[in-house]
A and B are shown apart, each in its own frame.
Chain A
Amino acid sequence: QKEVEQNSGPLSVPEGAIASLNCTYSDRGSQSFFWYRQYSGKSPELIMSIYSNGDKEDGRFTAQLNKASQYVSLLIRDSQPSDSATYLCAVNTLDANFGNEKLTFGTGTRLTIIP
């Protein structure tokens, strides 16, 4: 079982609609959750972090966390063509080999906003 799972997409959403991106994780001990946006040929850019159950809003972005169900989601309201990118979910996990915590990334969901 993958530690962090995302639907690879592509996910196509009309401009102005809500884009919904989902992520599930396997480590019940995870406490920190992040969404990164990565444009083609660029590096990941942190857009949201969430640590508590519930919703966290930042502009057009809302992160939702449900630790009991082990999923975290990202909603993008009023989607714009500039939101077209790959969105990476990252979760802190315990590295069994070294006893340290690290970020484990999903493979990402490719989002395309259709004008």
Chain B
Amino acid sequence: ETGVTQTPRHLVMGMTNKKSLKCEQHLGHNAMYWYKQSAKKPLELMFVYNFKEQTENNSVPSRFSPECPNSSHLFLHLHTLQPEDSALYLCASSQEKRLAPYEQYFGPGTRLTVT
């Protein structure tokens, strides 16, 4: 595996379900991110983990719960979602460094549909 991988690629869930999205980066990076991409809206940053510590929670509803057990893995736990949460969820990683900060590399995304 290379780059940033995400599973599952597609997910359909009911509003009462609990599911988790998984992200793994094979780039040796020290920061990982969750983004939400909805139609005709810019990418929305949801969570940031630097060195496994959450450094950003961008006013995300509590029905989204992130987990970062180590610098290579990131999870997004989902429960009691709403139909408006249907979107493409993207994971990204970066190596925070002085000369090339914030170059983020994205995984393929999980297309989530909430019914």
Contact = CB atoms under 8 A, between A and B. Distances in A.
Contacts of A4: 42
Kindly state the interface size class of chain A when it binds its partner.
Answer: 20 to 34
A46 B40 contact: no
Interface of B: 40-43, 45, 48, 55-59, 88, 90, 100-109
A34 interface: yes
A4 B41 CA distance: 12
B56 A106 contact: no
B100 A49 contact: yes
Interface of A: 4, 31-32, 34, 36, 42-46, 49, 88, 90, 92, 95, 97-98, 100-108
A46 B42 contact: no
A95 B48 CA distance: 12
Contacts of B100: 49
A88 B109 CA distance: 16
B103 A46 contact: yes
